[in-house]
Amino acid sequence: MHDVKQNHFLTLLTNFIYLNPNQNILPKNKAFMILSKSKEREIILHKIATVLNKKQIENYEFIVLNPAVKTNTKNIIFTKNHVPLAEVEQKMKDAEILIDLIRDNQTGLSFRVFEAMALHKKLITNNKTIKDYDFYNPNNIFVIDNDFNDISNDFLNNNYKNLPEEIYQKYTIDHWLKTVFEV
């Protein structure tokens, strides 16, 4: 987004929603996250787990593939095995909140943001630039920094608020294709 603001000849084109919209499946779990080896993100994920545990929220699942740091934190699963995409999608559908932790110096949006939109899930992220997008709603997206020590009870307890249809459509693969191919 920063590049587009500085170079007016560029057009902002983010990733896109590739999943079919959620069919209003009632979540079984509070939160879900899967990530691959990344020390800085694993430390933040551990902090999120600690906050959830302090709030006596136990129905969450975090999976770390090939971890850089192993902790004895309840509900963080360490594995070296590949997790099939279908299993990951089901775990996302089963969760109320998805976690999106960006790497140092990353500012763009990951696909997790678009998965959350498609599945009508709330999102906890450390990507501060997300506040600059038209889909940002503090009811749906809780932005943390690396030194956070709490997650708002209001955020944890409030229901997801649907996006206006025109904003949702702006981030679909159909819109992306029309923009790229100018059709």
pLDDT per residue over 103-120, tens digit each?
888 878 898 998 999 999
For the chain, the structural domain boundaries read 27-170
Q: What is the C-alpha separation between 61 and 111, in angstroms, rounded?
A: 19
Tell me the whole-structure pTM to 2 decimals.
0.87
**Are residues 22 and 120 in contact, defined by beta-carbon separation less than 8 angstroms?**
yes
3-state secondary structure of 41: helix
pLDDT digits over 30-85, tens only? 999 999 988 999 999 999 999 999 999 999 999 999 988 887 888 899 999 999 99
Q: What is the C-alpha separation between 44 and 144, in angstroms, rounded?
A: 9
**Are residues 176 and 13 in contact, defined by beta-carbon separation less than 8 angstroms?**
yes
Q: What is the C-alpha separation between 100 and 116, in angstroms, rounded?
A: 10
Q: What is the C-alpha separation between 143 and 44, in angstroms, rounded?
A: 12
Domain 27-170, CATH: 3.40.50.2000
